[in-house]
Structure 1
Amino acid sequence: MAVKPDTPYLDALRRDGFVKIPQLLSPQLLLAMRAACKYTTERAREGKWPYIRTVPKQYPPWHEWQEGDNIWGVQHLLHPDMNVRDTFAELYFSDEVLSVVKELVGLKDDPAGDDKLVMELFNLLVSPAKNTDFELRWHRDDIRPEVTEEQEAKQLQEKSPQGQQLHAQYNIALFDDASLIVIPGSHRRIRTDIERNAAPYEPSLPDQLVVELQAGDAVFYDSNILHRGIYRGINAKESLGRMTLHGSVGLAGHGNERARQVLQHAVGKWVDRAQFQIEGPRGERAEAMRTRLLAMGRGEDVGYSLDG
């Protein structure tokens, strides 16, 4: 009898649509990430980093920074012009993150697993300043809300064939975080009548769950689980607020299926000049993953997954 692989993270992801991993970051790595993200967020709020997500817009495309913008995210942490990018790259390409990724995309026991990973996105989610709260609508990342039940079922199957995701997506909290709200199990079924007819910002749907993370915890989740986010505003002069790293890593061989979801964020415009200054095996891994992203193209005319 064949022995079932020991894949607790993948089992949880397939069952619930998300898996929480306590203390993914060591205390030392957590401190380093906090320092880099505090510096990066301050620069972005001051207009010294143009690639941002602005209130009240939820989905790309986002404009570059303009006077008066209130941001809820910082884009492109691996961009060649990001002056602390090597700090971010050390985490993005780390064993801590990629060992989980490989299990979730079916590569846990594959000795050539590194050769099948694709660099995708690495961004930062932050609290809006000016004490302005901001909420995301209920959504799936790559399935439009207006699709019919038949289309929804078909797309859910196509995007996770045989229950297998073509990428791994995650949030890593640098401070305690209770922003992500999910409906467990919704990644494997069409919406119920209540979910389909709910208001975009409905505060209470059946079975919804707030994913509570402590500093250093991570949650990996199926991008087509029904979910939303709530961002509590802060006075940026008095508080750091939320700082949560938001990333994804792809599985090679599925470029067409993933191209729009990744390249709509404009990463294809700079990845060709984004070689990393990391030495040793981790540096080789980083360059190979970057090259696989480069092969997906620059992203002209790929369109956008969602509107708004």
Structure 2
Amino acid sequence: MDLDDIRAAASRIAGAVVRTPLVRCGELWIKPESLQPIGAFKLRGAYNALAELRPAGVVTHSSGNHGQALAYAAKSFGIPCVVVVPEGAPAVKTTAIAGHGAELVIVPPDQRVIAAEKLATERGLTMIPPYDHPSIIAGQGTIGLEIVEDLPDVEVVLIPVSGGGLASGIATAVKLLRPDVAVYGVEPELAADALESLTLGRRVSWDTSRTFRTIADGLRADLSDLTFSILRERLDGIVTVTEDQIKHAMRHLALKGRLVAEPSGAVATAAHLEGKVGQGRTVAILSGGNVDPELFGQVIQGG
């Protein structure tokens, strides 16, 4: 994975994906990927993968946003799409997946990968994983290119971490362009498998009984061997935030920045607000805004 791969991805997705602006929110710059057509950054990687691989049909497993992105991209390319989601996935996400024309398959959380792989074999579909694929990572890395272009003197970049595709792509782009920039991953305390993995120097997996405790439903996946190796090389560190800190960041983004963030999308802002990393010209990735309306209302009201 290098800059040529990410720049090629930027050319492929141009016109199909929004080049999101940097929005000032107090002393922080926000990269609002919630403004993408499917409400999250995942469209970058999904569209790049289909444009590069040109499959006849696709299947994936997803907590919601990657499924929406792949369904949206597959519709654009005129190919069938099947999305396997875990029980308990937010209705706002599963409804959107089906709305883009994909077939929705709901399974227990610990069965989603197995189910997707079985469908790929049985139906002859191409698996497009949410993060464990070079084309996906390159697509997400286009965010890093845009950050450096739009804020050349950036000093700190904060990125939500789940399976690690987003952080792998952005960290690669930023570090190869600006090695002096500090790049940090951010996780919920209740799903901090990436922090444990990088601390121990080996990939650690957390059971769904642990990760499903966090409100940040998009940050419950484990790192893959590929993303672990990239993050180990590129990240300056990983910090964690509490559930209350995530909710506070959601309120802050809504009231101060006029930006809607789902819990997963607010963790990078939470890390900044809580002083988890050094100060300086900081960009926080708002990775998605697909939040359940009832939950959002409760959070804004201080619940």
Same fold per superposition (TM over 0.5): no
> Which structure exhibits the higher relative contact order, with contacts defined as CA atoms closer than 8 Å and separated by 6 or more residues?
1
TM-score (norm 2): 0.27
Greater C-alpha radius of gyration? 1
Of Structure 1 and Structure 2, which has the larger fraction of its residues in helix?
A: 2
| TM-score in terms of structure 1 length | 0.27
